[in-house]
Amino acid sequence: MKKEDCIFCKIVQGELPSRTIYEDGDFRVILDLKPVTRGHALILAREHADNLYELPEETAGKAMILARRLAGIFREKLHCDGLNLMQNNGEVAGQTVTHFHLHMIPRYEGDGQEINLVPGEATQEELEAVRKQITE
Ligand code: AMP
Ligand code: ZN
């Protein structure tokens, strides 16, 4: 279902312009307006879902299959050296557009970008406490 005032719903429906590189019944894939690298693309779900929590499981599976296919095309056509998939959920995680999207970020030697998440420390006890919290 389309959500009023959702910019990605409007893009998916063709009501707002985009540089579309792929379309099918479930997704529209567009170039990001502010690419972090050359070829930065967004896989947009056609049906509105705020985030991964709301996305139907079947669509989530299809999104990853599509990412796998596009990854090969990016490597062949853009000659990228690697690829980051990124998917943000919630403001705290950096989500700025509340409509499910999966970032495909081709990476190139010397592209100057970096992933800024800083590895932390955890004791074996802490790791075990987390494992229990998730699995019990
Ligand atoms: P996120 O921070 O994960 O919500 O990502 C939102 C992304 O959408 C950002 O990388 C923006 O540059 C991109 N974006 C926002 N508006 C548009 C638009 N109209 N067309 C293409 N990309 C957009
Ligand atoms: Zn939407």
The beta strand positions in the chain, using DSSP E, are 20-23, 27-31, 41-45, 82-86, 101-107
Q: Is residue 101 annotated as a catalytic residue, yes or no?
A: yes
Q: Is the CB of 89 under 6 A from ligand 1?
A: no
Best of 8, 32, 95 for a ligand 1 pocket test (most atoms within 8 Å of beta carbon):
32
pTM here is 0.96
Q: What is the pLDDT of residue 112?
A: 96
pLDDT in tens, 27-70: 999 999 999 999 999 999 999 999 999 999 999 999 999 999 99
Distance CA 71, CA 48 (A): 24
Give mean pLDDT, residues 14-26. 97
Distance CA 31, CA 120 (A): 33
- Of all protein residues, the one whose alpha carbon is nearest to atom 19 of ligand 1 is 33
Q: What is the pLDDT of residue 98?
A: 97
Cα–Cα–Cα angle for 48, 60, 78, rounded to 5 degrees? 95
